[in-house]
Structure 1
Amino acid sequence: MIEHAWHQGDRILEVRPVGKLTVEDFQLLAAQIDPIISKRGRIEGLLVNAGDFAGWESFVAMISHFRFNREHQQHIRRIAVVTDNPILRFMPTLACHFISAEVRPFPEVELTQALEWLQKPG
């Protein structure tokens, strides 16, 4: 499951994976994000609270995650990844080479700072 909450109206989306992710999780997330992209053209920020990330239920679910990222990344201005997992903290550095959004990692104790960074104009 992917829990989500909107901040600043519908300008910043916070997502938090809970348990192993499924294909349906990304379908449900797209149903939340696509209408906002259609209305505004983009989302100002995405806060990925990955402290409880447990992987994917299946290979197909992992592919659905990659497809979701590919289809949506150009519509997101900034992405903050909040985690203490050293592998996940490295992912924003790698992702910057493949996506147009500005991506930055934050340790879990800096969740508030991550949200503040997403809210800054620029």
Structure 2
Amino acid sequence: MGRHVRRPTAFDRMIEHKWIQGHKILQIQPHGAFTVEDFHRLAEKIDPIIREQGRIEGLLIDTRDFAGWKSFVAMISHFRFVHDHEKHIQRIAVVSDNPVLKFMPHLVCHFISAEVRPFTPGEYSEALEWLENSG
């Protein structure tokens, strides 16, 4: 039997996403610089799940290919997206080898209700396990 292979869209190349454990954990991996449209498209992917389930247990953000924002407006859209969605996410794991991004969870935990924890790329499995066992 042939397998249907979904062709990646422009959004997929900017922010790849994959649901783990049904729709309990969302893994995202940005590629390149964020645009305003990236956050609109990401909201279209997760908002229906949040409406259905009430929350997402975990978010794994793999930032190894993160290249910042295309514009100041894109950065503001990112902050607005976080503000609108963070209360619906129990835990956030940030996988990064960038020293600034590894420090970010320690800073943002003061502004959001989700538990945030940094992991190195070599700790990817540990990050996923931490999210899967969020209780």
Same fold (TM over 0.5): yes
Are 2:82 and 1:82 aligned? no
**Map of 2:53 onto structure 1:** 40
Shift of 1:112: 1.1
Q: What TM-score do you get using the length of structure 2 for normalisation?
A: 0.89
Are 2:121 and 1:105 aligned? no
Gapped runs of 5+ residues in structure 1?
none
* Aligned amino acid, residue 20 of structure 2: H
Aligned residues: 122
The root-mean-square deviation of aligned C-alpha atoms, in Å, is 0.6
Gapped runs of 5+ residues in structure 2?
1-13
Task: Find the aligned partners of 2:92 and 2:73 in 1 and give their Cα distance.
Answer: 24
Contact 2:91–2:134, Cα closer than 8 Å, also in 1: no
Structure having the higher Rg: 2
Alignment of 1:14-53 (within 5 A): 14-53=27-66
Q: Which runs of 4+ in 1 moved over 2 A?
A: none
Task: Find the aligned partners of 1:5 and 1:121 in 2 and give their Cα distance.
Answer: 18
**Map of 2:11 onto structure 1:** none
The percentage of aligned residue pairs carrying the same residue is: 66
Task: Find the aligned partners of 1:16 and 1:121 in 2 and give their Cα distance.
Answer: 21
* Aligned amino acid, residue 55 of structure 1: G
Task: Find the aligned partners of 2:107 and 2:134 in 1 and give their Cα distance.
Answer: 24
Task: Find the aligned partners of 1:43 and 1:32 in 2 and give their Cα distance.
Answer: 12
Task: Find the aligned partners of 2:44 and 2:114 in 1 and give their Cα distance.
Answer: 21
SS at match of 1:10: coil
**Map of 1:121 onto structure 2:** 134
Task: Find the aligned partners of 2:98 and 2:134 in 1 and give their Cα distance.
Answer: 28
**Map of 2:9 onto structure 1:** none
